[in-house]
Structure 1
């Protein structure tokens, strides 16, 4: 492959990623840029860059218009770029060693793409960079966590399509003039330091496809959306979780015509504004964790037929399990850790109509029974901790799935024993039986087990001599706070991947296998009590 084609492939790979985040015509413009450009003559070079891994593109007059520095190793001053007045595309500097943001970038009046991933830039970026009229893409994501400033007033003639500043120190309030970015389709300000209310002018960003404001300090309510939803009709992804937003959740969000993923967790004050009728939504993922929902869930939420993942954990109210029979595409459901009471009294006919879950979390849900799980043949992750279960762990739970049950959490219940006969599935990677009343022998574990917590039970026998043979994949093992007696078997040293070995508050003998220190070099925490 020629150098030109290598560069085109590299830029097109980035373009393919942006294609999902930008209008199609922007992707096309990048492609046309490549067609017009050519590889610069060999004598073209930049003093501070190892040119063996540097891609330079020139125009017809042999002026440098494009740089791809993704694999280039730099040394010296980045100011060597200041003379490249015709630069249009800059992709990814590396190894800048905590350099300040170049103050000459705003003078590059032809700049259209500025992508500075993993640059370790520091200090304040010049506000003028956001006001370059030709600039379409600003992407500062990744290892620029010491870089920041506030956003300026945006000019009315801006061309910005993508603004991505996540995991930086950018702060302050969003200016009302953000509405001037009429071409903006991708806005990612997640994990920054922004504060204050969301300007109502954001509703005028009609080209938005992707909006991520996660983990800031935004306050107030959401900008009012027109009832006809014409303004945000292209929005596909909306993430506002972990802010300090208040007020009601606008029901209109759930009927945005293109929205597929909605994250609103840890905000708002307990209500969804009103009911919707005959909602035809493409939503596939809805996260409403800790939104203080109090009244019964709106019926329309349980009629969104395309939903695949739904999390309502840490809310209040009552949920009847039979209401989920309409969500046939639902594979991930979380109703955990809340005042939610989940009514599992469901008819046999409705049990057969429940969607097949791959991940089901019903922690602290005060369940009456779990017999409805017998038909759940696709479960991979099952969490039923703190649900007031008593007596035996039914043996059918181990063979519940036609696939591979990877995670089972039955902690903080009052199970006393395992129903015989039982076989723990071979592919189980995480088993949590912490804080039950289990007695008898410690169960032999599948060799694929990665994390095992059997602590705070009433196991009272010795550890089987071959117990370590079943810990070949384990990194975490806790059998603390039981009444286990005898010695730690030498076979424990076969668990060479263990990082945490937690055995205190038992009646084990003092002898510790000598191989523990010699062979288990990865151990980080050893607590023998």
Structure 2
């Protein structure tokens, strides 16, 4: 799998430009390769190679299988001098060359299929070695530096150590290789290792060096790098992309680089193009790459002096007001990239500004995302030599001119994400016999191609997403058997998928036909799509069973369809990374085969009819084997497990202990039971979203749950959880941040999309998650990464709401309703300034509503109903705007003030002195109660010890009682009162 890091002609990035060997070295190398050795290799050198082989721990491509026998000159990758028998070339490069041999893909560790191990110092015995190429093999690793001893093989003229996963500093001993013509140390940018250098002065000793590539090596601490590289007079190719370099704003430096032809400074920290920079003087430069920097301002006039330029890449900067007249003298220009800058000009005016010589010479023009306006000019047909035209993501309007059909050399036409309209017919493509890539997606154009049209081209990329193509299936695609990327999603197709579709696309890598009304069954032959890596079929009307999947498949989304029946016990696709099947009618149990998908990152089986317990997926005895063996728990890459809205049962899944990267877990709306585990904080350190609502979990909330520093959304509503909220909520650091986007949020990095290849758009998991907020069920897509909340509602929790809850400043949702909480609402609850929904209803809370609640200006839902709250309702601008304001206080009989009709008896108090008044009232009530108790006790004591007082008191009661009886029953005789008095 290629790691995309930069853009390049015909391919995306993490690409290493393999430096072309000079005519002399190529001729020498060819002679070595072409000759047959007339004598056996030297024994000491054979022994050195065997020692090197011993240091290899893995050779999946079996490159070294031929390294046996007496004559090492016949071994794979080894070339000897025909006269002397000395080994002069060792070439064990492991790279995936695609389309153009100048482009090599750096592969991530574990996917390259290259050699693994350590480089043996036995190579020192090869003192006649001129050519050493070990690029693309994983012979490095964390803490493994480039071997210093390589600087002692002084016969080397070619050294290629690119993409080898080395770590640490570049050894200055490489400066001893005074005969070196070509040096390639390119580092893989996206890896756990970091190759760097704080001093490159050793380069000055390589006086014969013609090509240097240190792309990806961190050189950011070297301020005078320009002075060092410009004193190497023979340099022809200099590639320092993604090195963290900047250019000092200083006067012009003298440069010895009179032979420089290629300068690659892609992806650095250059922020301006000073007209005095050294490279403007090198007038023979043919290729200049300054793309993906931070360059602001205007393009200097000095660019017009570089008349030898053939390739100019300035894309992905902050240039403004770029004028085509600046390129008036660049008559050799054949490749121009200005994408992602601010041209901000009418396209017709901009195109007319190019000189005639450029129009006839230019082969590739990329003006994507440059804020071009207006129409595509009809004069575009004059650019007959253009093979690549990219105009995506701007503000182009109107119809696509028919003149494009006369650009017979066009291989790539990219017009997506504009405001183009009108019809697109066969006439637009009639003469485009070389067309290989066509993208019209996200334009309201109407594709009116007849069903019997046979195109003259053979597309490799066909992208029509969000255009008007339906209602019938595009039958002209039947002849496009070279397609490896197809996107006809959301095009209004209401049709049965034709039988030929899956056969014609047998070599496709990416298919997206989602968001249509395409019906039919998935074919049993789906497994024979041997190149398929991404299939997005969601939101259609597919029925039937899920068939066996292609072995190469990495991503499958067939959600929102009508698949039925059980999941197959073994559905293939061992490399599967995302499996999204939600909202179907799949029944039965989840097969244990899921446990074997060790590369799985996202598994979504929600909203189906699944039953039973989850597979154990844990280490244990394999009953099928006689010996005691263990089953690999697998799923170590799992980031999201989404199973809501099924009928799954059992306890909390134990196998998740072996998924340390888990970020999102949604088991809601099932029948899970048992207590919540205490091991999550240790085993699931990146857990950010835990949704368990509507299950039968019981027991208390584990204290360990408060140790989940990344946890930002916890929903355990509608369970049988009891006990108190554990202390330690302040440890939930992800909930205690005000910022909407946390840089350490693991969900953002894991769900950011993973490209499968350079040409395939990345699938991003962003389907909807159900969250109950603001009193209703809401659906969140990828914006769930911004959601921070606690929902403990509908359980048996008791005790007080901890004051610590006010320290979770990032909370947007807090719901503890339908429990048995007592005590007061925390006074500092107003510190939750980002709170949008607060529900404390149906508890036993008492006391006054804190006035700090009025400080929460973001609050849009509040429910305090059915508690024992009392006192005046705080008045605040935000509280007065809430809808249905009376119902949020209902069931609290002692609340008063607006919006309730009950008025408060005492004068309204302001927020400023409210706390002081509360203190005074409390002291008054305490004094009255103490006086009452003391007085009553004195009366009891007197009655107990003074008989005369006691007799007189009861006689008084008798007289009062007789008088009361005469009042109550005046028609009855006096004896009635006596009988009542003397009664029991």
Compute the displacement of 1:352 (Å).
1.9
> How far apart are the structure 1 equivalents of 2:589 and 2:147?
62
Compute the displacement of 1:224 (Å).
0.7
Compute the displacement of 1:315 (Å).
1.3
Compute the displacement of 1:406 (Å).
3.4
The equivalent of 1:139 in structure 2 is 238
The equivalent of 1:524 in structure 2 is 638
- TM-score under structure 2 normalisation? 0.43
Aligned 8 A contact 2:408 2:433 in 1:
yes
The equivalent of 1:290 in structure 2 is 393
Which of 514, 522, 529 in structure 2 is aligned with 1:411?
A: 514
Compute the displacement of 1:67 (Å).
7.8
Residue 480 (structure 1) aligned with residue 594 (structure 2) = no
Aligned 8 A contact 2:434 2:457 in 1:
yes
Alignment of 1:34-53 (within 5 A): 50-53=148-151
> How far apart are the structure 2 equivalents of 1:429 and 1:383?
14
Residue 504 (structure 1) aligned with residue 609 (structure 2) = no
The equivalent of 1:185 in structure 2 is 286
Gaps of at least 5 residues in structure 2 are 1-79, 93-100, 104-127, 130-145, 188-193, 620-630, 645-984
Residue 453 (structure 1) aligned with residue 557 (structure 2) = yes
Aligned 8 A contact 2:266 2:290 in 1:
yes
Alignment of 1:112-127 (within 5 A): 115-126=213-224, 127=226
Compute the displacement of 1:220 (Å).
1.4
> Radius of gyration: which is bigger?
2
Compute the displacement of 1:384 (Å).
0.8
Aligned 8 A contact 1:162 1:186 in 2:
yes
1:177-226 per-position Cα deviation (integer Å, ceiling 9, x unaligned): 66533212111112222221112331231101221122222221234157
The equivalent of 1:201 in structure 2 is 302
Aligned 8 A contact 1:171 1:192 in 2:
yes
> How far apart are the structure 2 equivalents of 1:216 and 1:373?
38
Which of 155, 173, 185 in structure 1 is aligned with 2:273?
A: 173
SS in 2 for 1:211: strand
SS in 2 for 1:374: helix
Aligned 8 A contact 2:489 2:512 in 1:
yes
The equivalent of 1:61 in structure 2 is none
Compute the displacement of 1:451 (Å).
2.0
Which of 156, 162, 168 in structure 1 is aligned with 2:262?
A: 162
Compute the displacement of 1:385 (Å).
0.7
Distance change (3 Å), C-alpha of 1:324 and 1:467: farther
Aligned 8 A contact 1:490 1:515 in 2:
yes
Q: Which moved more, 1:184-193 or 1:492-501?
A: 492-501
1:258-285 per-position Cα deviation (integer Å, ceiling 9, x unaligned): 3333222111322468543763633322
> How far apart are the structure 2 equivalents of 1:442 and 1:374?
24
Residue 211 (structure 1) aligned with residue 315 (structure 2) = no
Aligned 8 A contact 1:312 1:336 in 2:
yes
Aligned 8 A contact 2:196 2:218 in 1:
yes
The equivalent of 2:434 in structure 1 is 329
> How far apart are the structure 1 equivalents of 2:377 and 2:283?
30
Superposed CA RMSD: 4.4
Distance change (3 Å), C-alpha of 1:388 and 1:327: same
> How far apart are the structure 1 equivalents of 2:91 and 2:170?
29
Which of 450, 458, 462 in structure 2 is aligned with 1:346?
A: 450
- TM-score under structure 1 normalisation? 0.75
Aligned 8 A contact 1:259 1:283 in 2:
yes
The equivalent of 2:671 in structure 1 is none
Aligned 8 A contact 1:202 1:223 in 2:
no
Which of 385, 392, 406 in structure 1 is aligned with 2:496?
A: 392
> How far apart are the structure 2 equivalents of 1:362 and 1:135?
49
Distance change (3 Å), C-alpha of 1:398 and 1:76: closer
Gaps of at least 5 residues in structure 1 are 11-18, 22-38, 41-47, 58-65
> How far apart are the structure 1 equivalents of 2:174 and 2:525?
66
1:6-49 per-position Cα deviation (integer Å, ceiling 9, x unaligned): 58999xxxxxxxx989xxxxxxxxxxxxxxxxx99xxxxxxx98
Compute the displacement of 1:123 (Å).
2.2
Q: Which moved more, 1:467-476 or 1:111-120?
A: 111-120
Aligned 8 A contact 2:538 2:561 in 1:
yes
Relative contact order, higher structure (CA 8 A, sep 6+): 1
Residue 462 (structure 1) aligned with residue 565 (structure 2) = yes
